[in-house]
Amino acid sequence: MSVTLIPAWSDEEGTQRAAALWAATFGGRPDGVWAAPGRVNIIGEHVDYNGGPCLPVALPHRTFVAMTRRDDQQVRLVSDLAPHDVWSGALAQIAPGGVRGWVAYAGGPAWALAQAGHPVGGFDAAIVSCVPLGAGLSSSAAVECAVALALDETFGLGLGADDAGRRALADACIRTEAQVAGANTGGMDQSVSLRAQADHALLLDFRDGSAQQVPLDLTTSGLELLVIDTRAPHSLDDGQYAERRATCEQAAALLGVGTLREVTDLDAALAQLPDAVMRRRVRHVVTEIARVEVCTGLVRDGRLRDVGPLLDASHASLRTDYEVTCVELDVAVEAARSAGALGARMTGGGFGGSAIALVEAGTVPAVSLAVQEAFAVRGLAEPAFLLAHAGPGGARVPRRSDES
């Protein structure tokens, strides 16, 4: 048996594929192509909507959007998910309740930007992606963010030029996901897709919306961050995510704090909560926030090998206290660790999706094979693998050589 890693498209490949879908659908050439990445989160899971910190990296795997401005208020959208199924309608139709499925993610940023007072008109867009779909790697956020960047430049909004503007674009994408697509997520995915820098993890702090670049040099440490897509379907709008979020909000209200970030004495907080499930959820959030702080310090100090046990502890907490793992995620992390990973955990929302394993660079094939075999023995669907080399945030492509 051998394992193939899912490749990331280069600027050229993504641009060509987007232009080819454009030509086949609309004819001619688009005005430009923009790209935005998926992500993995190193640590800090299910804490963003609790005002907490998280430490994601942008994947080299990106969604590419070819776009041209129209002179009217019409929109046409096509995706490589359904290349013969062009969505066509009035801009005004793109609104909460007006569109569904991939069109909500692809068109929604136009609604959200207009709501925020930015002048957006009609446009045509063709979308292609190499971010694995439904794998908990933020393929939806990558679509939203690539479209938002394309609209930003197409309509001269000027938001993509600096971090403050990118934060505004991320906010528009977060509102897209919550209000047009109907998944009230916490903001990590859109923020890292737009605010990341290559070779850095991004310390996002949802207490104040700040973002700090944390240098991440896996290569010098002889390490790789292996991503295991369990192929167990993952969805954020099936009620489980919303239920976790609601429980946290109820707990914060009972404790008299705005968010669980403000809990300073865990034992005292737990003693005040009436319900065992709620106590477990709160324990995960508060201990996970502490793990992010320790982990960020280790990454800053270049002590990447010491991060492993924190990944393991995070997974244990997500499994037993937050209850968002599943058989596939548990098997993936256990098999990776048995094959020599320094640490492993689920990443993203959970309930399926992907895990990450911190491994010695030379052991990627052996660890991947061990995970593949563990899945086969249990009769689970074959997993897929990719490497998380920290890439840059979204931008127009091809990127100019003087850009990071």
Using CB under 6 A, which of 30, 51, 107, 187 touches ligand GLA? Answer: 187
Q: Closest approach of Cβ 187 to ligand GLA, in Å? A: 6
Q: Does 189 bind ligand GLA (CB under 6 A)?
A: yes
Examine residue 46 and tell whether it contacts ligand GLA (CB under 6 A). yes
188 lies in the site for ligand GLA, by CB under 6 A: yes
Smallest distance from the beta carbon of 173 to ligand GLA, in angstroms?
11
Catalytic site residue from 48, 189, 312, 321: 189
Nearer to ligand GLA, 45 or 152 (CB): 45
Contact status: 288 vs ligand GLA (CB under 6 A):
no
| Residue 272: count of CB within 10 angstroms of its CB | 12
Q: Among residues 34, 49, 64, 123, which is the contact residue for ligand GLA, using CB under 6 A? A: 49
CB under 6 A: which stretch of 14-22, 93-101, 187-195, 272-280 binds ligand GLA?
A: 187-195
Type of residue found at 244: R
Identify which of residues 54 and 157 has a Cβ nearer to ligand GLA in the complex. Answer: 54
Min CB(163)–ligand GLA separation in Å: 19
Q: How far is the CB of 185 from ligand GLA (least distance, A)?
A: 3
Residue bearing tokens 């509102």: 175
Alpha-carbon span 200 to 192, nearest angstrom: 11
Distances (CA, A) of 122 to 140, 151, 185, 259: 22, 10, 28, 39
Nearer to ligand GLA by Cβ, of 17 and 280: the residue is: 280
Looking only at residues 157 through 186 of this chain, which bind ligand GLA when binding is defined by CB under 6 A? 185-186
d(CA 289, CA 43): 9
Minimum Å distance from CB 322 to ligand GLA?
Answer: 10
Considering only residues 45, 171, 224, 229, which one is a binding residue for ligand GLA as defined by CB under 6 A?
A: 45
Q: Is 152 in the site for ligand GLA (CB under 6 A)?
A: no
State the nearest-atom distance from the C-beta of 178 to ligand GLA, in Å. Answer: 10
> What string marks each residue from 343 to 372 as x (binds ligand GLA by CB under 6 A) or -?
-----xx-----------------------
- Residue 80 a catalytic site member: no
Which residues within the stretch 111-150 sit at the binding site for ligand GLA (CB under 6 A)?
A: none
CB 120 within 8 A of CB 103: no
Binds ligand GLA (CB under 6 A): choice among 15, 36, 48, 203:
48
Residue ranges that bind ligand GLA, judged by CB under 6 A: 45-46, 48-49, 185-189, 236, 348-349
Which of the residues are catalytic? 189
